[in-house]
């Protein structure tokens, strides 16, 4: 096919794909304003020797508007550009809500309408923060005051001007320190043979094992009215243990104890604590104790054989102690 002979004047007779456009023409479609599929372009009718223009119809930008039913090719748009008001967005670029009614906005949640109804308690957080800051400031102030007081106390003992003291040099004290431990005052202990005897009480030396001077001890106590009286000096008043060394012929004995004229509630027990079965006094020396209350200074302590006592015993020595002892 040459420019001089381009075939028939209709595209379907000339275009090998022209049968595709016959359906539109056969259906009685209105030909577009400037040509289109199945119709000649603006140069129709076709002139021999002139190439035919494109059969594709180019659509002007913005011709189709949002929400319109598609127009047939070649039909004028429903809204002309000149009808649009100044300042209003063009339909093809406007948001969807511009095509009908006010834009939809979600309503704010009602007060108390759920767990998230109320916002954070900013007022409570602010009060808590202020309280913490106040506590820190108070603590710092107290620390500064304490340090200031301590500094004043240190400076009080220093001479004015910060120099060395101008007074007489201090001499080391020869007085012993109060913190030095003083030896405990010795409590009295005395041989029975040196005590004041009364009644039938007498001195004896024939039983071996006595610890008194020259082996002397007090015998003859097994009669009513027999007594031994001891004047004991005590550094302080209080409760004490009164010890007695004695011997019995392997049997139980006891004696009345009077302290400063007042008898003890219980007599001192002179028992057979070693469980001896031999009546020989030499094999039965042992020690017992009773509790007494003494005053500071001199105390009169009396051992006596009174009515109801079992007094068959001899005495070696007497002792006062603050603690229990084992002999």
How does pLDDT run across 10-27, given as a tens digit for each residue?
A: 554 555 665 555 555 555
Q: Which residue has the higher pLDDT, 85 or 130?
A: 130
User: Is residue 117's pLDDT more than 90?
Assistant: no
Q: What is the pLDDT of residue 119?
A: 55
Q: What is the pLDDT of residue 130?
A: 87
State pTM to two decimals. 0.46
User: Is residue 168's pLDDT more than 90?
Assistant: no
How does pLDDT run across 295-322, given as a tens digit for each residue?
A: 999 999 999 999 999 999 999 999 999 9
Q: Which residue has the higher pLDDT, 92 or 17?
A: 17
Confidence at 107, pLDDT banded by 50, 70, 90:
low
Sign of the torsion angle spanned by Cα atoms 199, 293, 242, 215: negative
In the chain the beta strands, taken as DSSP E runs, fall at: 189-191, 196-198, 202-204, 217-219, 227-234, 238-247, 253-259, 262-263, 268-270, 285-294, 297-304, 314-321
Please identify which residue in the block is written with the tokens 């209105």. Answer: 30
User: Is residue 261's pLDDT more than 70?
Assistant: yes
What rounded mean pLDDT belongs to the chain?
Answer: 73
Structural contact between residues 253 and 223, judged by C-beta atoms closer than 8 angstroms: no
Confidence at 253, pLDDT banded by 50, 70, 90:
very high
CA nearest 281: which of 181, 229, 206, 231? Answer: 206
User: Is residue 30's pLDDT more than 70?
Assistant: no
Q: What is the pLDDT of residue 81?
A: 47
Average pLDDT estimate for 117-124: 64
Across 11-15, 118-122, 173-177, 314-318, least confident range: 173-177
Average pLDDT estimate for 168-196: 63
Q: What is the pLDDT of residue 186?
A: 86
């Amino acid at each position: 096919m040459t420019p001089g002979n381009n075939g028939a004047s209709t595209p379907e007779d000339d275009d090998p794909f022209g049968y595709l456009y016959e359906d539109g023409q056969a259906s009685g479609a209105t030909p577009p304003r400037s040509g289109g599929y199945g119709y000649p372009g603006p140069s129709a009718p076709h002139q021999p020797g002139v190439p035919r223009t494109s059969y594709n119809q180019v659509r002007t930008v913005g011709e189709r508007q949002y929400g319109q039913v598609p127009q047939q090719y070649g039909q004028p748009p429903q809204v002309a550009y000149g009808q649009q008001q100044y300042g209003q967005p063009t339909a093809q670029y406007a948001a969807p809500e511009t095509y009908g009614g006010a834009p939809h906005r979600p309503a704010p949640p009602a007060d108390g309408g759920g767990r998230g109804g109320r916002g954070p308690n900013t007022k409570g957080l602010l009060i808590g923060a202020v309280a913490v800051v106040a506590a820190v400031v108070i603590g710092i102030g107290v620390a500064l005051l304490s340090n200031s007081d301590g500094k004043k106390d240190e400076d009080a003992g220093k001479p004015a001007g910060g120099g060395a003291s101008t007074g007489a040099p201090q001499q080391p004290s020869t007085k012993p320190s109060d913190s030095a431990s003083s030896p405990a005052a010795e409590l009295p202990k005395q041989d029975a043979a040196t005590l004041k005897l009364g009644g039938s009480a007498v001195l004896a030396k024939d039983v071996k094992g006595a610890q008194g001077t020259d082996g002397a001890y007090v015998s003859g106590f097994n009669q009513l009215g027999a007594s031994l009286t001891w004047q004991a000096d005590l550094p302080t008043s209080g409760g004490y243990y009164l010890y007695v060394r004695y011997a019995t012929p392997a049997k139980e004995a006891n004696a009345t104890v009077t302290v400063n004229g007042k008898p003890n509630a219980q007599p001192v027990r002179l028992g057979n604590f070693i469980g001896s079965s031999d009546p020989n006094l030499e094999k039965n020396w042992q020690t017992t104790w009773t509790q007494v209350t003494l005053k500071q200074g001199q105390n009169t302590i009396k051992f006596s054989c009174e009515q109801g006592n079992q007094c068959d015993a001899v005495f070696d020595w007497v002792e006062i102690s603050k603690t229990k002892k084992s002999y």
